[in-house]
Amino acid sequence: MAYTLKNGKVDYVVFGLSVFLIFCLLFESYIELPVLVAWIGRWHPLVLHFPIVLLLIAIFLGLTGRKIPRNLLTIAVISALLTAISGFFLGKETGSKGDLLFWHQWLGSGLALLAALWYGLEGLQLGGKIYTKMIQVVIIGLIVLTGHYGGMVTHGQDFLALPKDKKQEIIPKNPLIYTHIVDRILENKCVKCHNSNKKKGELLMTDLAGLLKGGEGGSTLVPGNPEESEMIRRLYLPIEDEEHMPPEGERPLADNEIQILEQWIALGASDTLRLNHLESSQPLAVLIKEMMEPDPMEKWTSLPKVADSTLGNLASDYLTITRLAGATDALKVNVYMPPQYDTQILMDLIPINRNIVELDLSGLPIGEKELAFAANCPNLEWLEIDRTPITDVQVDTLRNLSKLRLLKVYETRIGDQSISLFKEWKNLKSLYLWGTQVSESALEELKSENPDVLIENGIDEEIKSYFVASDSIPKS
């Protein structure tokens, strides 16, 4: 079979584009795009529609034994290569490539290169061979997959998923254990397959009656007896087990969810049981309270980003800045008494004031300026200003710190005036104020108005006198 150069220049274009694409992929990390080239990437979402349609038409013609117009194939292949290259440019603009983009890039590039190979084979008059047909079939597959990943990149991963109405509403303060907790777990993890439309194993999990009735596997739920309940047995099976629920590939229940179901069944699987019917030390009550408590990391996600290098620059031998946890921008700042104290040490932290969630200034000779700084940290939850010379006037500047959860002001000169302020903070949980000038009556008033606040006014006098009276030096 003689090789005939039918279409010289175009062949070189296809070959050149292919080589360029391979080069891009291999040396991705070394490539820095000029702005104008990067801009070409923006055309990717427009261009990509051409190769999809043109390649599909060409393959349709090829597989049905008709003649593929040479120009159609040429345009299809060149547009495929251009799409892949522009896509590559576009991809360079996003900092880190997630899994979706990763697959989209490699499937798309593979598709373009395979199309180029097909073009070459056609040029060599090998279009009728079985392997060329195979390549065409593979191209169809790649078009579908690449398109799918690309779609997920732009429209989100769940775009094609069937609509679900997950129960995400906030759990009320005193929830009905079945309606607000158990049903919510089942709804999220089980009902997909055990509903009135798709009653797998003849089991309906949308209401208590369905659970009590059970399915093919026998008694799904035996009130008061989790060991006998098929549901619990299956939840505890190893994940590889055929009978494990939910089946492989579905999201399994978390440990605490399984425990909640188990405890609820053990207590009789009632649908009228409420959280306040349980003793607070009851395992079920503890589990549910845990579930209701928002994850602290969640509320910190909206804090501004702060770089490690910034923290490194701001910290000194006497000022420690740490992240409260690995993946957050919530910061804890501890200041220790330096040989020469200078107010400036805090003022340098103004750029990160929104990130400071915990601040410890205890034992320092602080005054107006430091408290004004603290007042300027709107996300403060934890503030230690104990054993300092502060007074009511300065504490009053903290008025807007409504997120404050803990305040240590013991051994300071504050008095009753500050109490009115403490009453306003709705998130306040613990207050340490012994050794101050706060009067007994003001304290009583605060206690009656905020009964949930733990107020520490020093060690109980009775215990104190017991400790003082009994000496620990053994009489020998």
Chain residues that interact with another protein, rule: CB under 8 A: 25-30, 102, 105-106, 281, 283, 286, 296-297, 308, 311-312, 315, 317-318, 320-326, 328, 334, 336, 339, 362-363, 384, 386, 406, 408, 410, 430, 432, 434, 456, 458-459, 463-464, 466-468, 470-474
Give the CA count within 13 Å in the CB-facing half-sphere of 166. 6
Q: Residues 204, 210: contact at Cβ < 8 Å?
A: yes
Q: Which is nearer to another protein, 2 or 473 (CB)?
A: 473
Q: How far is residue 75 CA from its own chain's centroid?
A: 44
Residue indicated by tokens 């969630």: 357
Q: Which is nearer to another protein, 74 or 105 (CB)?
A: 105
In the complex, minimum distance from the CB of residue 136 to another protein, in angstroms, rounded to a whole number? 22
> What are 202's two structure tokens?
């003849």
Q: How many CB atoms lie within 10 A of CB 270?
A: 15
Q: Which is nearer to another protein, 222 or 431 (CB)?
A: 431
- Amino acid in the structure at residue 174: N
Q: Which is nearer to another protein, 1 or 469 (CB)?
A: 469
Residue indicated by tokens 């770089």: 307
> What are 125's two structure tokens?
């008059």
In the complex, minimum distance from the CB of residue 113 to another protein, in angstroms, rounded to a whole number? 11
In the complex, minimum distance from the CB of residue 386 to another protein, in angstroms, rounded to a whole number? 7
In the complex, minimum distance from the CB of residue 78 to another protein, in angstroms, rounded to a whole number? 23
How far apart are the two ends of the chain, measured CA to CA in Å? Answer: 113
In the complex, minimum distance from the CB of residue 91 to another protein, in angstroms, rounded to a whole number? 11
Q: Residues 194, 201: contact at Cβ < 8 Å?
A: yes
- Using alpha carbons, select from 345, 304, 298, 359 the residue that is nearest to residue 325: 298
> What are 121's two structure tokens?
């084979």
In the complex, minimum distance from the CB of residue 205 to another protein, in angstroms, rounded to a whole number? 26
Q: Which is nearer to another protein, 58 or 385 (CB)?
A: 385
Partners of 432 in the beta sheet?
408, 456
The DSSP secondary-structure symbol of 396 reads: G
Q: Which is nearer to another protein, 20 or 434 (CB)?
A: 434
